[in-house]
A = this chain, B = another copy of it.
């Protein structure tokens, strides 16, 4: 299972009660925190997300609305006597920013923080059931998106059929690994005959802050859920491009061309009070669109 909870959806400045960007991806193993704007730990309290559940943090880039809440969260985890290791993936400079603040406070974290600087596109993290890849997106400063994918689940044993074929139980483990069974008479019983296909792996792509870039489609093609920023409404295409951001139409166009299951839009400019026009516009291009509203939880 994968589920995404939105903690913040605004760009640049907190406005109209909206907080800067942050999301929690709940996986079968752990919680992943994606970006961490100011106040993220307060939003986590509001939506009952326990800090101790987080195993990995992914920071897309070093604009403040995506990471100013990180140092507060990391030090709170320490004050709460966290014991588990924590993996932090972010731009290389982030390490220096954290270190200078810890030094100034004459503090060290009481848990092990593994810092992994982002670089070229590729796999950056792996857990029992998940793989995470990073990919570069085009923004005013270095910026990365993240692709979270469930690993392919093994086929499940169909006990009834295995018994019917008189396969000894000592061979069940081999069946689950995908092997065929050969009877004493030499007949081959194909694996597919006695196992059931597992559910298809789910995936989530987080495109961070980006200018409209059709090359993204190659990376996010067919994901179950795509988050693409839509900082502006469609009439602000010029402003969006000048600031390396996207409009509703552009986000929806990426979703349409990529054939994703569902599109989530967020990172709304502080100049807009109502978000309803964002949804209306994006749906004109890609009907399976939803707003990344704070507190909303999307089952993937």
Contacts and interface: CB of A to CB of B under 8 A. Distances in A.
A96 B91 CA distance: 19
Contact of A97 (B39, B41, B75, B104): B104
A140 interface: yes
Contacts of A39: 38-39, 42
Interface in A180-230: none
A153 interface: no
Interface stretch (A64-72, A114-122, A130-138, A288-296): A64-72
A76 interface: yes
A45 B14 contact: yes
A68 B72 contact: yes
A101 interface: yes
A38 B141 contact: no
Contacts of A140: 106
A79 B13 contact: yes
B12 A64 contact: no
Interface in A18-69: 19, 38-39, 41-42, 45, 62-64, 68-69
Given A12-B79, A38-B72, A97-B100, 8 more contacts: A13-B80, A14-B45, A39-B39, A62-B105, A64-B75, A68-B68, A68-B72, A94-B104
